[in-house]
């Protein structure tokens, strides 16, 4: 057994048997791990509230090389992020980001997911409800870029021809990005991808802030991201937290304050 001590972020947590919890953490040194926190549900648990959702801290893990479930021996919380639970807009967006990290966990062999996710959650935590969708979308696309499968936007994803910047193109999830007019004509798939949407997505992937326009623009971007992720996952399982996030921001009233 190897002992691991690593900066970590709690992405998911659920009860296990009478007294324990199973927690999925993004670590800086070993990617995403499933760990069991024995006794975490006891009244005098040594973990206390340290392993609450979205908490950052130093995880002490006994790594079991033969299994996918490891043992959490301690968690020194450094940041609780309780602000994410205080607003539905923040919480649903943060949950979608966490789901993205969990579903693509196998593609992370380093701390890329940990570092990208913590910065997105911090940004969501200080955003006003109206700004949350753009910040969460930008952050989710940066996680995608960190994982190495950012969509092609300036060259055709199929034939690699340069695309004119300010013209609408077709976005084909299966091809992995924007298509030139010739390749778009060859296949029936894809969505119309307006020039402004491509501009916004390019900014997000570069790590630049870009606000969203009206609610229909926001919904189009949420749908584009979800469809892109589902195509890449290719396992037929829906992204439940993404669906909840989309439904929530669908009904989100601009007057909400948090
Ligand atoms: Zn092409």
Dump pLDDT digits (tens) for 102-137: 998 877 677 888 999 999 999 999 999 889 999 999
Give the pLDDT confidence score for residue 252 in this predicted structure.
52
Distance 155 CA to ligand 1 centre (A): 8
Per residue in 222-247, pLDDT (tens digit) is 999 999 999 999 898 999 999 999 99
Q: For the chain, give percent helix, strand, coil, nearest 5.
A: 40, 25, 35
Q: How far apart are the C-alpha atoms of 245 and 149, rounded to whole Å? A: 23
Give the pLDDT confidence score for residue 257 in this predicted structure.
44
Distance 178 CA to ligand 1 centre (A): 9
Closest by CA to 148, choosing from 195, 109, 190, 175, is 109
Distance 160 CA to ligand 1 centre (A): 6
Per residue in 142-194, pLDDT (tens digit) is 999 988 889 999 999 999 999 998 999 999 999 999 999 999 999 778 899 99
Give the pLDDT confidence score for residue 209 in this predicted structure.
82
Helix 195-205 crosses helix 215-233 at what angle (to 10 degrees)? 60
**Residues carrying CATH 2.40.50.140, the chain:** 2-80
Residue 250's pLDDT band (cuts 50, 70, 90): low
Q: What is the mean pLDDT of residues 73-100?
A: 95
Q: What is the mean pLDDT of residues 41-53?
A: 89
Distance 167 CA to ligand 1 centre (A): 14
Distance 132 CA to ligand 1 centre (A): 35
Under DSSP, is residue 36 helix (H, G, I), strand (E, B) or coil?
strand
- Taking a 5 Å cut-off on Cβ, the residues next to ion ligand 1 are 156, 158-159, 161, 180, 183
For the cut 60, the answer to whether the pLDDT of residue 28 exceeds it is yes
Spatial neighbors of 53 by CB under 8 A, at least 6 apart, are 10, 11, 12, 13, 84, 85, 98
For the cut 60, the answer to whether the pLDDT of residue 253 exceeds it is no
Strand order in 177-179's β-sheet?
Answer: 177-179, 169-172, 191-193
**Residues carrying CATH 1.20.1440, the chain:** 83-150+191-251
Closest by CA to 24, choosing from 40, 42, 6, 36, is 36
Distance 162 CA to ligand 1 centre (A): 8
Distance 152 CA to ligand 1 centre (A): 11
Residues belonging to the chain: 258
Percent of the chain exceeding pLDDT 70 equals 95
Q: How far apart are the C-alpha atoms of 117 and 123, rounded to whole Å? A: 10
Distance 224 CA to ligand 1 centre (A): 20
Distance 196 CA to ligand 1 centre (A): 20
Give the pLDDT confidence score for residue 256 in this predicted structure.
45
83-150+191-251 CATH fold:
de novo design (two linked rop proteins) (1.20.1440)
Under DSSP, is residue 31 helix (H, G, I), strand (E, B) or coil?
strand
Looking at domain 2-80, which CATH architecture does it have? Answer: Beta Barrel (2.40)
- Cβ atoms of 242 and 140 within 8 Å: the answer is no
Taking all residues of the chain, what is their mean pLDDT, rounded to a whole number?
91
- Cβ atoms of 122 and 55 within 8 Å: the answer is no
Give the pLDDT confidence score for residue 161 in this predicted structure.
96
- Cβ atoms of 222 and 204 within 8 Å: the answer is no
Distance 33 CA to ligand 1 centre (A): 40
């Amino acid at each position: 057994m190897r002992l691991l001590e690593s900066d970590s972020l709690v992405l998911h947590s659920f009860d296990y048997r009478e007294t324990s919890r199973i927690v999925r953490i993004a670590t800086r040194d070993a990617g995403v791990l499933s760990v069991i926190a024995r006794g975490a549900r006891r009244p005098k648990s040594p973990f206390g509230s340290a392993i609450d959702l979205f908490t950052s801290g130093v995880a002490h893990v006994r790594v079991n090389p033969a299994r996918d479930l490891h043992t959490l021996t301690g968690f020194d919380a450094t940041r609780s992020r309780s602000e994410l639970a205080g607003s539905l807009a923040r919480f649903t967006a943060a949950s979608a980001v966490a789901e993205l990290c969990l579903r693509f966990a196998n593609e992370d062999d380093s701390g890329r997911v940990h570092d990208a996710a913590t910065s997105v959650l911090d940004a969501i935590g200080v955003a006003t409800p109206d700004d949350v969708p753009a910040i969460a979308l930008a952050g989710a696309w940066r996680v995608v870029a960190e994982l190495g499968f950012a969509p092609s936007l300036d060259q055709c994803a199929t034939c690699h021809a340069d695309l004119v910047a300010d013209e609408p193109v077709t976005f084909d999830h299966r091809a992995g990005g924007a298509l030139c007019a010739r390749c778009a004509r060859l296949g029936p798939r894809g969505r119309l991808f307006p020039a402004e949407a491509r501009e916004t997505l390019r900014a997000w992937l570069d790590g630049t802030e870009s606000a969203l326009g009206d609610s229909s623009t926001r919904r189009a971007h949420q749908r584009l991201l979800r469809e892109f992720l589902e195509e890449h996952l290719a396992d037929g399982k829906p992204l439940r937290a993404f669906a909840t996030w989309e439904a929530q921001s669908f009904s989100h009233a601009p007057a909400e304050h948090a």
